[in-house]
A and B are shown apart, each in its own frame.
Chain A
Amino acid sequence: MPKRRFFFLTLFSLLIAAPLGLISYKLLVLDYRMADLIPATSYHVDINMAVDGHGDDIHMRTYLPKSDPRQHVTEETQTSGDFRLDISSDPLNRIATWKAEAVKGPQSVHYSFAVQAQHVQYRIPTDLQIPKSYPPQLAHYLRAEEGVQVNDPLIDEAIDKIIPRRDVPVLELLTRMHRYLQDELKNKNFSGYTDAITAYKLGEASCNGKGRLFVAMARKMNLPARSVSGLIMKSGSKRVSHQWVEIYVNGYWVPFDTINDHFAELPANFLTLYYGDEVLFRHSRNINFQYSFQITKKLVPKSSLREHIGDSMLNIANLYQTFESIGISQNLLKIILMIPFGALVTVIFRNVIGIETFGTFLPALIASAARDTGLLWGAIGFVMVIVLTALIRRGMDWLQLLHSPKMAILLTSVVMIILGATVLSVQFGLGQLAHLSLFPIAILAITAERFAIFEAEQGLYKAARVTVATLVVIAAAYAVMESQFLQSMVLAFPELLFVLIALNMWLGKWIGMRISEFFRFRKLIWSEATK
């Protein structure tokens, strides 16, 4: 036995020390930054477009966001139904076109993506003067165009009013123009088109009118300028897009928003969709075109961390590229890496707290599947599948079938219930429940069998109690597995899984009384204590 003890302690210390050493090495030598481990905000954006066809050909066109140093676009998915999707790209923009022939009845297409963006701010040198000339490729950012009447006398009049002496440095010029547009020109909540002159004359405008007036004045002052369109990302459903401007200063395109008062800066929740004074959607006529943006906010590991992990040499994490090359996303990898944490939670609930659950790993697996349904719908789906399958099992009990064929029937029932629930939830718009198909089917079949045995041998009360206990453990495992900090940590330091093994080894030698046993033996403990 001492030999076993020696081996245990050696292995235990190794499993703790080796990962800690590797982590220190990464932090101290490989320049892993802890700041990268703090989760970032990510937005999931779903563009929905719906039309009514009357037998004619239909086309629709919109812009899709591009990844750039400020924003990182990933996880793009689309459903187009009868439509054919073409995506074309030019140096600035990405254009999606959907086409279909002889469309009848209501149709819809979706395009969704995840985006992580950074807040940016530029500092403009105070003494920077307006350049006399620019490279030829910037020429069209100085010209007049429709709605941006650079050469109209009224633009001169506006500039005279704002900047009486025109030979000021760039910073002062931009500050005065920005302050004028932000403070003097009233914000107007109006979704129609306003050109630069109209905005000036009315003394009020929405984002597109202010933007055009800014672009017109900047171009007049020989500063290249362009309008940018995008979304202000906030959880919920919206139809309103936003416009701001970028001015070319000292080699950088610097952003300005004179509705929300962002001077030479752009917040992290601004999504750039496209450059240029264009409309967001173009489509065939008379199709009752409807669109909306469905936005959900999530915390995720920083994209800079992902890149860092990808680059770093000595790294189990370099495997990530291998996984990605065969189509396993980092997101899926993250889910897989979190399952051991869920299992540890289950072990603690069983061996330390003393709660009886269905199966050792069922709670962890259900919790990871519930990432897609949300905890509430995951729990509802779980109980629904178990109870319905247990009812079917009861019927088969009466028929007295053999074990293996009976289990195969239960498995088939679980598959049918999950598919049925998915179809029904799509029909009734319970989008969340539709993701039940990610549930571990075989384990659910076994759980339903266990539930039915509990129910038959020890009564419905006992079976319900274990189900409730299982739900509690699912919720706890879910909370731990959804922890952004742990997710970032395990992505950056997958060697932490060895520490989990060590913790489980320790729990495997823990002989303490489970918390529920203090309750179970409370009278006995006091009786022994007072002897």
Chain B
Amino acid sequence: MSFSSWIANWQKFHKGRAQVLSMNQRNLHFIYPNNARKHFPIADNKLLTKQILGASGVPVPETYQSYSSFFELRSLEHDLAPCHEFVIKPAQGSGGGGIVVISEKTESGWNSVSGHHYTAADLRRHIADIIFGVYSFGLSDHAIIEARVDQHIELNELSPFGLTDVRIILCHDKPVLSMLRVPTKASDGKANLHQGALGIGVDIETGCGNHAIHDGVPLSHHPDTGAALLERKLPFWDDILRISCQAAQAVPLKYLGVDLAIANDGPLILEINVRPGIEIQNANMLGMRPLLEQVRAPDQQYNTLGNSL
């Protein structure tokens, strides 16, 4: 390789590198200046998230009950008597720990989607654990009982292994990049990419899948169901964008990830995230720095030594 072509390659490489948002820059230029520390609980506590979003008219799964003390658990059986399908989750859990999804009521109690049978006493013990902070790094926590989302039929065909969700990153209330996170057998029903879920980059304009990865490797069909992943327009895409923007406007966080589920009658917001990961760029095969540059507030200066963007 000649010296000049080496230089040319280096310049190309540098140009490519300049499109990609790095972890250091995400933290310094986007999270710190846009999200005040005091507002982090809005995202970290799902109960608070739902209260704020619900009050602004953003659709969220209906909360049946929340418990924060043993005292309240005395009425548990009475509270749950009319419920057939519901989800129990810790308000401040992470990585899906402590979530139980109940799909039917039986004579002696309830059955979960994973096939476990729970009596009222079992559920009371589980909720007590959540309140005690077993799933929340030692903080005492709230347990949420909410409606189970009935996943849209198209997504169920794509992957019946768990709840597929849509992650949208918004900066200054404008959607920047989005992806669909699809559970696999290997991910055990979970939608986290590092636990083995698929990531499908979704074009913001069209709502169509444009690129997909599994453990960092591109692919075009679901490894378990064989369903085609790309060129498929997501149902309710316009609603998804509208609701995400509505959610972003409802909270004082200006750089955030919004996670939505799509039910048969429309999208619902599951949670919001103040530290959305940067792997979404690999799912889209698209660097996000130029996209962020377009939406950033004109008067915003970067919190750095040299403005190197």
Binding site for B on A (CB under 8 A): 1-2, 4-5, 8-9, 351, 354, 400, 402-404, 407, 457-458, 506, 509-514, 517-518, 520-521, 523-530
Contacts and interface: CB of A to CB of B under 8 A. Distances in A.
B23 A514 contact: yes
Interface in B277-295: 281-282, 285-287
B137 A530 contact: no
B12 interface: yes
B129 A400 contact: yes
A354 to B, nearest CB: 7
Nearest to B16: A529
A270 to B, nearest CB: 55
15 contacts: A354-B23, A400-B129, A400-B134, A402-B132, A402-B134, A403-B137, A403-B138, A457-B95, A457-B195, A511-B304, A512-B24, A520-B216, A521-B20, A524-B287, A528-B286
> Lowest 5 CB-CB distances: which A-B pairs, in order?
A529-B16, A403-B138, A528-B16, A525-B16, A511-B25
Interface in B200-249: 216, 218
B136 to A, nearest CB: 8
B28 interface: yes
Interface string B15-27: 1110110111100
Nearest to A403: B138
Contacts of A527: 16, 285
Interface string B105-128: 000000000000000000000000
A356 to B, nearest CB: 11
Contacts of A351: 24
A513 B134 contact: no
Q: How large is the interface on B (under 10, 10 to 19, 20 to 34, 35 or more residues)?
A: 35 or more
A404 B140 CA distance: 11
B287 A528 contact: yes
A405 to B, nearest CB: 10
Contacts of A506: 305
B37 interface: no
Nearest to B26: A511
A524 B25 CA distance: 17
Contact of A514 (B22, B134, B137, B282): B22
A517 B194 CA distance: 15
Contact of B17 (A8, A403, A407, A518): A518
B133 interface: yes
A216 B139 CA distance: 84
Nearest to B33: A1
A509 B304 contact: yes
Nearest to A404: B138
Given A521-B281, A529-B15, A514 B301 contact: no
Q: Looking at B16, B132, B281, which has the most chain A CB atoms within 10 Å of its CB?
A: B16
Given A512-B24, A525-B20, A402 B133 contact: yes
Contacts of A530: 12, 16
Contacts of B97: 457
Nearest to B217: A523
Given A403-B133, A523-B282, A529-B13, A517 B28 contact: no
Contacts of B95: 457
